[in-house]
Amino acid sequence: MANEDFSNQTKYEMKYMINHFKVLNINDNQRFNLIVAHVDQGVSILFGNYNQGFIDEVNYSTKSLVHTILLNDIDNDNNMDIIIGNYNFNFQILFSETSDKFYQSVVYSVGLYNTFLRIGDLNNDQRLDIILGDYATKKISLYFNVGNRTFINSTIYSTNFNLENAQLVDINNDGYMEIILVGTDSIISFIEILSIYS
């Protein structure tokens, strides 16, 4: 029977106050890693070992507070990258150069202050695109992945409610993602479905 009193505890003291974190198996090596965003405008990656501990820590500057951390192979090189949404006019990708601990940090300046980020293949070209949304301005912005770690801004769409979240789903099975927006005007909640390709 398992020990249910949680007497076996491991604590790690961080240098900064944490505002967001993810536990992810970055390298598919059965070792889970902890990605921590902190109020000092940076992220730290703590690489796990097999003893429920962490053996190394690598730090990257974000120049802004972080609202989203996602993991996916966004440049199709078979290495998992870390996609970071910042509370600012940018998003950031830590591109994995190898299967170990080296990442190239690329910051993409955008024209929209954003409060959430989602990824998905919007135009069915086998490349992951990025959606940024902002609660206050009631806008989303689409950034299409054109390869070579390059994204182009195609569309800024305005709603008439404050955006709280979005999901990308191919609702009608036509091979193209729809964007499902959820938000409120402080009185009524709304769901809106956007079809980019009809």
Read off the pLDDT of residues 89-113 as tens digits, 9 standing for 90 and up: 899 999 987 656 678 899 999 888 9
**pTM assigned to the model:** 0.86
State how many domains the chain has: 2
Instruction: Judge whether 151 and 130 are in contact, CB under 8 Å.
Output: yes
Domain that holds residue 123: 111-198
DSSP 135: T
Residues 115, 101: one domain?
no
Residue type, 172: N
The arithmetic mean of pLDDT across residues 65-74, rounded, is 93
Q: In this structure, are 24 and 67 located in the same domain?
A: yes
Collect contacts of 27-35 with beta carbons under 8 A, ≥24 apart: 27/80, 27/99, 27/100, 28/80, 35/69, 35/82
83 and 153 housed in the same domain: no
Tell me the pLDDT band of 126, cut-offs 50, 70 and 90: very high
Q: How far apart are the first and last CA of the chain?
A: 56
Q: Do 116 and 195 lie in a common domain?
A: yes
Residue 1 forms part of a structural domain = no
Q: What is the dihedral of CA 120, 62, 35, 47, to 10 degrees?
A: 120
Q: Is the pLDDT of residue 32 over 60?
A: yes
Report the 10 Å Cβ neighbour count for 38. 20
Q: Which of 46-60, 97-111, 137-151 has the lowest mean pLDDT?
A: 46-60
pLDDT at 138: 95
Q: Residue 193 has which token pair?
A: 């479905």
Same domain for 134 and 104?
A: no
